[in-house]
């Protein structure tokens, strides 16, 4: 299943904060920041179990993350990825000449994937080196 016309915002979470201090190449970091939180009604439309990997696609890239239901809902039409390497694959690098990229408010689509897996932070970023 897939969803379109969503808005992606990236934000801090305490788990992401703890994970980035505790070791960026750990599984805790993947579980904390390699996730996409959905509004519960939106998530029903995806027709999958919590934790199923999904591909998030924006005009600026795509990334595979674990799906989860937001504790901070309801926020229909808005998806949320914690700040970090996964979110930064799909954010808008345009700073509108002020220096700060537009990390919030990208148009996004999401699809449940049949193959592919969620990479850890180092694995994901190292792909950029090889590219």
Partner 1 sequence: MVAKKIRTVTDVICPFCGTLCDDLEVDIDIKEEKVIEVRNGCQIGTKKYFASNPSDHRYDKPLIKEKGSFKEVSWDEAIDKAANILIKAKRPLLYGFSSTECEAQGKGVELAEILGSILDNTASVCHGPSLLAIQDVGAPTSTLGEYKNRADLIIFWGSNPVHAHPRHLSRYSDFIRGYFRKDGRNDRFIVVVDPRNTHTAQIADIHVQINPSEDYELINAIRAILRGVEIDADEISGVPIEKVKELVETMKSCNFGVIFFGMGLTQTLSHHRNIDAAICLVRELNDHTKFLLTPMRGHYNVAGANQVFSWQTGYSYSIDFSRGYPRYNPGEFSSVDVLMRDEIDASLIVASDPASNFPAASVKNMFKYPLIVIEPHHTPTSVNADIILPPAIAGIECEGTAYRMDSVPLRLRKVKEAPGECLTDKEILEKLIEAVKKKKGE
CA distance 16 to 24: 10
- At 127 the three-state DSSP class reads helix
Interior CA angle at 49 toward 85 and 52, to 5°? 30
CA nearest neighbour of 24 among 124, 109, 114 = 124
Does residue 4 interact with partner 1 by CB under 8 A?
A: no
Does residue 101 interact with partner 1 by CB under 8 A?
A: yes
User: Beta strand pairing status for 2-11 and 61-69?
Assistant: unpaired
CA nearest neighbour of 57 among 32, 81, 82, 30 = 81
Judged by beta carbon, residue 66 or residue 80, the one nearer partner 1 is 80
| Chain residues 34-53 in contact with partner 1, contact rule CB under 8 A | none
Of 17, 52, 109, 113, which lies in the binding site for partner 1, with binding defined by CB under 8 A? Answer: 17
Does residue 23 interact with partner 1 by CB under 8 A?
A: yes
Of 3, 20, 108, 110, which lies in the binding site for partner 1, with binding defined by CB under 8 A? Answer: 20
- Interface with partner 1 by CB under 8 A: which residues? 7, 9-14, 17-18, 20-26, 60-61, 70-75, 78, 80, 83-85, 88-89, 91-93, 95-105, 121-122, 124-126, 128-129, 131
């Amino acid at each position: 299943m897939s969803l379109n016309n969503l808005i992606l915002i990236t934000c801090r979470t305490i788990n992401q904060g703890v994970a980035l201090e505790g070791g960026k190449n750990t599984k805790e970091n993947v579980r904390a920041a390699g996730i996409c939180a959905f509004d519960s009604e939106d998530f029903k439309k995806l027709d999958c179990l919590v934790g199923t990997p999904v591909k998030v696609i924006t005009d600026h890239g795509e990334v595979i993350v674990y799906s989860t239901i937001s504790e901070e809902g309801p926020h229909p039409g808005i998806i949320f990825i914690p700040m970090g390497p996964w979110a930064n694959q799909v954010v808008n690098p345009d700073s509108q000449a002020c220096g700060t990229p537009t990390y919030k408010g990208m148009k996004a689509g999401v699809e449940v994937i049949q193959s592919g897996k969620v990479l850890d932070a180092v694995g994901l970023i190292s792909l950029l080196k090889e590219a």
